[in-house]
Amino acid sequence: MKIIVNDFVRRQTSESRFSHYDGEWEDIVKHVKENFKYRVCGYRNGVNLIPVPPEGFFSGIAQLQESSLLTGGFEARREGEAPRKFVTAVSAQKIPAKHVDVVLYSSEVLAEDGDNQLPAEPGNWEIISVNASPTKDSPPINPMVLMHNHFESDGGTATGLSDEDFVVMLRESFYFWKDKAMCS
C-alpha cells in the first residue's frame, strides 16, 4: 500500500477557509497508515474516511448565528477547473478540531478524471482532503460538493449513487450544513 499527499489537499492551510493541520504533511500520512484499519467507506468504492487523532488539526467549520455576516465568491478550486460558488462566515475563526477524518481516494478513482498523481493501480492511495469537525462526530459531505460529485460537474468525482441514495445523503448533509459555513 502506498499513500501520498495529493496536491489538491495542499490548499488546506492555516490561511485558507478550509480545515488544516498545524504540522507536516508527512505526519498526516503517518496517521493515516496507523489508522487505516479503522477506515470507513465513503460515498463510493475507492473513497475512504480515515479517523485520526484531532490534536494539531483545526476546523474551518463555523456555527452561524442570526447576526452572522456571510460573504462568498466564485473561483476554481485548481487551475483548469470550472469555477464554483462558495459561502464563508466573515470574521469566523478556526477552532481546534474534536474529530478528524482524512479523505483518501484510490488512485484508480482519481484517474477517472485525470487527478491521480500515483499510477492507477490497486493499493495506491492519495489524501485529497482533511475534514476537521468542531464536534465529536464526522460531518457529512458539504451539499454543494455532494451535488458537484453526483452530477459529475467539472472537478466532481462520480458518486455512482442511485437518485434515492443521493437524496438520503443530501438530506443528512442539508440538515448539518444549513446553519454552518466555512471560516472566511
104-115 pLDDT, tens digit per residue, is 999 999 999 899
Check pLDDT > 90 for residue 155: no
Cβ burial 37-76 (10 Å sphere, 16+ → b, else e): eebeebbeebbbbbbbebebbbbbbbebeeeeeeeeeeee
Residue ranges per domain, the chain?
Answer: 2-183
To the nearest 10°, report the CA torsion of 98, 15, 86, 80.
Answer: -120
* pLDDT band at 79; cut points 50, 70, 90: confident
Query: Quick one: pLDDT at residue 43?
Result: 86
Query: What is the rounded average pLDDT of the residues 33-58?
Result: 96
CATH number of 2-183, picked from 1.10.10.10, 3.40.50.300, 3.30.2310.50, 3.40.640.10: 3.30.2310.50
Q: β-pairing, 84-89 with 20-21?
A: unpaired
Say if CB 57 and CB 21 are below 8 A apart.
Answer: yes
Q: Which three cell numbers stand for residue 117?
A: 498523481
Check pLDDT > 90 for residue 157: no
Check pLDDT > 90 for residue 146: yes
> Whole-prediction pTM value?
0.85
